[in-house]
């Protein structure tokens, strides 16, 4: 889909997918590297040792936290929340041009303000009002 045919909701959806995919790819790579190190196929690095320690302590490692949403959760709860966020995006993928009931979970978005701005944009387009005159 070309950028000029995307609507506000589609832009937010794609942005959310990009952010979560970056995080998931990082997690997968780090865990695969850690597994290879356990097998003796890679040299264990300080970053891998840090990751192991954080997993043991039920903490999110610093590198994952940089690509994550703001949170104070432990690792287990954070992973459950990651799953919930993926479920939200999977429900939304069926029709990213509209608001569906699943998107009402604003706390499962990386950038909920982007979604609220998209609502304002769609409303402004439908009513002919200026975007700066609408409030969410």
Report the CATH number that the domain containing residue 128 is assigned in CATH. Answer: 1.20.1270
SS3 of 99-133: CCHHHHCHHHCCCHHHHHHHHHHHHHHHHCCCHHH
pLDDT of residue 107: 78
Around Cβ 96, how many Cβ atoms within 10 Å?
20
pLDDT of residue 1: 46
Average pLDDT, the chain: 87
pLDDT tens digits along 34-63: 999 999 999 999 999 999 999 999 999 999
Q: What is the Cα Rg of the chain in Å? A: 19
Q: How many domains does the chain have?
A: 1
Decide: 75 and 54 in contact? Cβ < 8 Å.
yes
The tokens 């701005």 sit on which residue? 117
For the CA atoms of 102, 23, 69, 35, the dihedral, rounded to the nearest 10 degrees, stands at 110
As given in the structure block, the two tokens for residue 126 are: 């439908």
The tokens 């690792």 sit on which residue? 75
Average the pLDDT over 100-123 and give the result.
78
pLDDT of residue 18: 96
**Domain of 126, in residue numbers:** 3-133
Distance, in Å, from the CA atom of 34 to the CA atom of 40, rounded to the nearest integer, reads 10
Which of 69-73, 105-109, 128-132 has the highest mean predicted lDDT (pLDDT)? Answer: 69-73
Answer left, alpha or beta for residue 93, where phi above 0 means left and psi between -120 and 50 means alpha. Answer: alpha
């Amino acid at each position: 889909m070309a950028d000029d045919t995307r609507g506000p909701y589609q832009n937010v959806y794609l942005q959310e997918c990009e952010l979560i995919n970056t995080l998931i790819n990082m997690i997968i790579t780090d865990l695969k590297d850690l597994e290879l190190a356990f097998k003796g196929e890679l040299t264990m690095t300080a970053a891998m040792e840090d990751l192991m320690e954080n997993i043991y302590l039920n903490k999110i490692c610093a590198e994952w936290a940089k690509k994550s949403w703001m949170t104070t959760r432990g690792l287990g709860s954070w992973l459950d929340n990651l799953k919930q966020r993926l479920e939200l995006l999977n429900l939304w993928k069926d029709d990213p041009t509209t608001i569906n009931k699943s998107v009402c979970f604003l706390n499962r978005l990386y950038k909920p303000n982007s979604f609220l701005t998209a609502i304002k944009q769609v409303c402004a387009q439908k009513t002919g009002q200026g975007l700066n005159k609408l409030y969410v």
